Amino acid sequence: MREPRFYSAIVPDRDACRPSRGGANFLRDCRATVAVEFAFVLPILCMMVFALYEVTAGVITYMKVVDVANTVSDLIGQVTIAQGGVASTDFDNYYIAGQMVMYPSTGSNLGLAITSVYYDSTGANPTVAWSVERGGAAAITNPTSFVSGLGTANSSTIIVQATYTFASPLDYFITSPITITAKVVGMPRNLLPPAYTTGTPCPPASGGSCS
């Protein structure tokens, strides 16, 4: 003879979400609780998403500005003896290259300031050889102080300062434009002493303008 089998089932407490007549048990009524909680949380979530988007866009823009300064410094440092130096048209091309680095931004408000500084036979006394600006940028302030102690005998440095005005596309968390500035220092790789004791020539020996 087979033994009887017993089956059990978990029966939900249907009274847990049932409205009650007593005021003390009013909070037990959980109908539409999720909708109410979502209504409270949704504005906070939207604010966090918008703020995260704007901050991330700002950080990416800052990284691109740093890349612009590094790119232009590297391009000037690669000028060869055959070129003899950099001229006005070269700086125009460097500025266009910097705008391309800012893609997908147009780079229309990108500013570039470039200064060449050379040192004496002891590697001291930094002196400005030339300065060039593009995109309406202001000249670099106190360039010799910025590169003091970085030179060697008859060497030179190239300072590139890139500026960009970042305006948030959402204008929600970052409500006003922010000016981002990056300044880097590079060195010539080909136009070296003892032939070039005052840094990269501008304008080059072949002529042109350094403005």
CB 119 within 8 A of CB 132: no
pTM: 0.78
pLDDT the model gives residue 44:
81
pLDDT the model gives residue 32:
65
Per-residue pLDDT of the chain (211 residues; tens, 9 = 90+): 566 665 555 555 555 555 555 555 555 556 667 677 777 777 788 888 888 888 888 899 999 999 999 999 999 999 999 998 999 999 999 999 999 999 988 788 999 999 999 999 999 999 999 999 999 999 999 999 999 999 999 999 999 999 999 988 777 677 889 999 999 999 999 999 999 999 999 988 777 888 8
The per-residue pLDDT for range 142-171, each reduced to its tens digit, is 999 999 999 999 999 999 999 999 988 777
The per-residue pLDDT for range 118-138, each reduced to its tens digit, is 999 999 999 999 999 999 999
pLDDT the model gives residue 2:
60
Backbone angles phi, psi at 195, to 5 degrees: -70, -35
Please give, one letter per residue, the 3-state secondary structure of 133-177: EECCCCCCCCHHHHCCCCCCCCCEEEEEEEEEEECCCCCCCCCCC
pLDDT the model gives residue 17:
54
Query: Which of 156, 154, 178 has the alpha carbon at shortest distance from 167?
Result: 178
